[in-house]
Structure 1
């Protein structure tokens, strides 16, 4: 009974130690506000940090990892501020977006050096384990300068995992990876999250977050635009108004036919074609072919006019 109680207490303590909390975290550079008054709590599992380029994702990750101090507010991991805190560094692994490797080193040398910096008792064995995790063992003795972008990414992940951190922060980790590498990395991160690690990865690609993350933090222009369960946020994105530019053999005839169609909220003729405002992406695209056929109009091109992530996030901010 005592053993069970002790084990439960240890597990609870480990979970509490890995908790990331931001309270009104703000970071500015001169007159530029990169992160503005963000509060969030992250626990075990995989969380996606989603936002367009320049939204402040990298700044958030660097504050969490202790490389940047908040200009205002607090950032803590397990209740301790990570800024210049060596004890917190022992529990965190960071994969930066930019290549932070010495190209003349082999991957084995690079990851072993990271193990030595963490003062691990057996750096070579720890490096071998990390290289195996990212499927880089066979190429580990090649200089990193000979690697593809995807292989360099995997070397960085191995270096971040070498000390077996409870918290793993990854900035655009899938950049440059081919489809097989991407799937393997997703499986690896998913497994780590299921094992109780706190995994936070940033991305500007909606599909990456959809496949991997259970929860999402959506950042726009330095502010938190949405937070929580991925599916509920995705429904907001799906149900937002959509704008399409449709080019046809007879734009005026199609515009007349679309007026009153259930999924269409508005239609206007432009020099480039018919601009359609639809309430639902799927319903409109399914109805369009039938409506154009019945009207005797040939479809030449259907272009989503507002499908960039920036437009999705702008909608979430205003929602």
Structure 2
């Protein structure tokens, strides 16, 4: 069954802004980028402050293009990107304050992990290089494997050592494109804790990921990019609140689904009722609280035994589905 509620992506709704007590660290102002007749990013504006910001969107939404413009690796076709009030394009002194980890692996397999991190430090002109390398490798918990060649690492281990190379110069801003690819559950947990620690120290972190649950757990702010446009921004709960005018889905499992569906249609808080092939009843409502209160009374009166009442729209994935469908 497909969702019946959508938010038009050509009418973005910003539901939360930067922190009022400080200027934004990153400002994206009316940015577009096109390649010939293909528009990859279209008139996107937002501010990012300290903490963790999650950048979400389906494949081809324009996330990587947007990140490249935010780091100065790509020029904008129109609009501006600034960091700490400075333009990011062609600004080498600014780059020393930024750590960038791209989606695609860029490592020399013959290099030892420590050699890779040391090379990244040299490129950043890091003082007291060996101490900085020690610190970065310890942060990602790779000290035991630092003298192994990187082509002997698992993909998750390579990601962690790449992150060490991103951290070696102690940047104020981290921009990470799909950094959790290939990580196992233990590595993911360590990564989450590390990012939370770095954010608590006052850093600004932009995290792009298709793993919605992890972004929901980590991010203070979420930016949803759909078809090159900003579909919504803010905290998860704020984005959800912005969709309150849309119906919610509630799945009900019981011993008499057809009888329940027929009775539920008459409830004033119910917009529509569907029977799923698995035998459950899916109710669409703009007032889930009323539905959850009314259903037990309705079932008791009809002699129906309820087994489970489950709201389906509480996760970031379901919100994201509303925004990208249609």
Same fold (TM over 0.5): yes
Deviation readout 1:203-241 (Å, 9 max, x if unpaired): 233322222222222222211122234432243467742
Inter-partner Cα distance in structure 1 for 2:49 and 2:289? 34
Aligned residues: CA RMSD: 3.5
Matched, 1:38 2:44: yes
Deviation at 1:161, TM superposition (A): 0.6
Contact 2:216 2:316 in 1 (8 A): no
Counterpart in 2 of 1:11? none
Matched, 1:180 2:186: yes
Note closer, same or farther for the CA distance 1:283–1:60 as it changes in structure 2 (3 Å cut).
farther
Inter-partner Cα distance in structure 1 for 2:310 and 2:36? 40
Q: Secondary structure at the match of 2:181?
A: coil
**TM-score, normalised relative to structure 2:** 0.78
Matched, 1:145 2:143: no
Q: Secondary structure at the match of 2:145?
A: coil
**TM-score, normalised relative to structure 1:** 0.79
Higher relative CO (Cα under 8 Å, sequence separation at least 6) belongs to 2
- Number of residue pairs the alignment of both structures matches: 304
Note closer, same or farther for the CA distance 1:283–1:17 as it changes in structure 2 (3 Å cut).
closer
Counterpart in 2 of 1:312? 319
Contact 2:240 2:319 in 1 (8 A): no
Matched, 1:215 2:200: no
Inter-partner Cα distance in structure 1 for 2:146 and 2:297? 56
Contact 1:23 1:74 in 2 (8 A): yes
Deviation readout 1:93-113 (Å, 9 max, x if unpaired): 011111121222221111111
Structure 1 gap ranges (5+): 1-14
Structure 2 gap ranges (5+): 1-20
Structure 1 window deviating more from structure 2 (76-85 vs 248-257): it is 248-257
Inter-partner Cα distance in structure 1 for 2:320 and 2:138? 38
Q: Secondary structure at the match of 1:175?
A: coil
Structure 1 window deviating more from structure 2 (307-316 vs 148-157): it is 307-316
Counterpart in 2 of 1:276? 283
Q: Secondary structure at the match of 1:138?
A: helix
Matched, 1:162 2:168: yes
Note closer, same or farther for the CA distance 1:131–1:275 as it changes in structure 2 (3 Å cut).
same
Deviation at 1:39, TM superposition (A): 1.0
Give the alignment partner of residue 204 of structure 1, picking from 207, 210, 229: 210
